[in-house]
Amino acid sequence: EVQLMESGGGLVQPGGSLRLSCAASGYTFSTYEMNWVRQAPGKGLEWVSHISSASRTIYYADSVKGRFTISRDNADNSLFLQMNSLRVEDTAIYFCVRVSGSGRHIDYWGQGTLVTVSS
Amino acid sequence: EIQMTQSPSSLSASVGDRVTITCRASQDVSIWLAWYQQKAGKAPKLLIYAVSSLQSGVPSRFSGGGSGTDFTLTISNLQPEDFATYYCQQANSFPRTFGQGTKVEIK
């Protein structure tokens, strides 16, 4: 069974940093692309970042470019999101998601971790 | 960036109704269009991928259609467990983008 478990969320002041982690299990992590998707309280879904299976290709939403860094450790079945220079508008639930091996859609979602940026 | 626009933003329907949600892309997204269902307090769940392919385990009352820039999600014979928010997403190009969501409520 595919499982994605996020951790690392919490309360941080504006301008601060936070590192999210996602532990993957139940499949061969190293062969799948991964993304982060976020959802602000009461709002819709916003795609944040993409990383290819071997980390060769990385993309970011304009809203986080230059502040967030996605990475992965295939030996440890883990996905990361380093978030720097956090803003109030980064407050959201952050979902770790797997991109399907047979297409470009998201086929599995973690339960999410809440990041609150507030003074 | 490809903009995804869903309509309506919300709708009220009764159990047994047939419901159609529309998603329009600002550019051609080819076959790279998926639909997700999200219930309150839960992570989204994949329903439809590649415009019209039903994800394993999803009831056949859900169907997707369309092409190019105009797509639909249809729920036939609406069930109580279908009351949720639905999102389309394009995966034709980066940045990936979602529609703003359509909330299906009980009439």
Q: What is the pLDDT of residues B51-98, one digit of tens each?
A: 999 999 999 999 999 999 999 999 999 999 999 999 999 999 999 999
With CA atoms as reference, the chain A residue closest to B33 would be A105
What are the structure tokens assigned to A103, written together? Answer: 């297409």
The confidence score (pLDDT) of residue A91 equals 98
| Residue A101 confidence (pLDDT) above 90 | no
| Cα Rg of chain A, angstroms | 13
| Residue B106 confidence (pLDDT) above 90 | no
**Torsion of the alpha carbons at B9, B13, B17 and B18, rounded to the nearest 10:** -10
Q: What is the mean pLDDT of residues B31-53?
A: 97
What are the structure tokens assigned to B64, written together? Answer: 């997707």
Interchain contact, A47 vs B95, CB within 8 Å: yes
Which chain A residues are within 8 Å of B101, Cβ to Cβ?
Answer: 44-45
The confidence score (pLDDT) of residue A102 equals 86
The confidence score (pLDDT) of residue A103 equals 84
The answer to whether A56 contacts chain B (CB < 8 Å) is: no
Share of chain A above pLDDT 90, in %: 97
Q: What is the mean pLDDT of residues A82-94?
A: 98
B27 band by pLDDT with thresholds 50, 70 and 90? very high
With CA atoms as reference, the chain B residue closest to A58 would be B94
Q: Tell me how close the Cα of B92 comes to any Cα of chain A, in angstroms.
A: 8
Interchain contact, B36 vs A46, CB within 8 Å: no
Q: Distances from the Cα of B69 to the Cαs of A39, A91, B10, B33, B95, in angstroms?
A: 25, 31, 21, 10, 17
DSSP string, A16-49: --EEEEEEEESS-GGGS-EEEEEE-TTS-EEEEE
Helix (H, G, I), strand (E, B) or coil at A82: strand
Name the β-bridge partners of A95: A37
Helix (H, G, I), strand (E, B) or coil at B80: helix
Best mutation site among B96, B98, B100, B102 for testing chain A: the one with the most A CBs within 10 Å?
A: B96
The answer to whether A21 contacts chain B (CB < 8 Å) is: no
With CA atoms as reference, the chain B residue closest to A106 would be B46
The answer to whether A4 contacts chain B (CB < 8 Å) is: no
The confidence score (pLDDT) of residue B84 equals 97
A105 band by pLDDT with thresholds 50, 70 and 90? very high
pLDDT digits (tens, 9 = 90+) for A26-74: 999 999 999 999 999 999 999 999 999 999 999 999 999 999 999 999 9
Interchain contact, B49 vs A109, CB within 8 Å: no
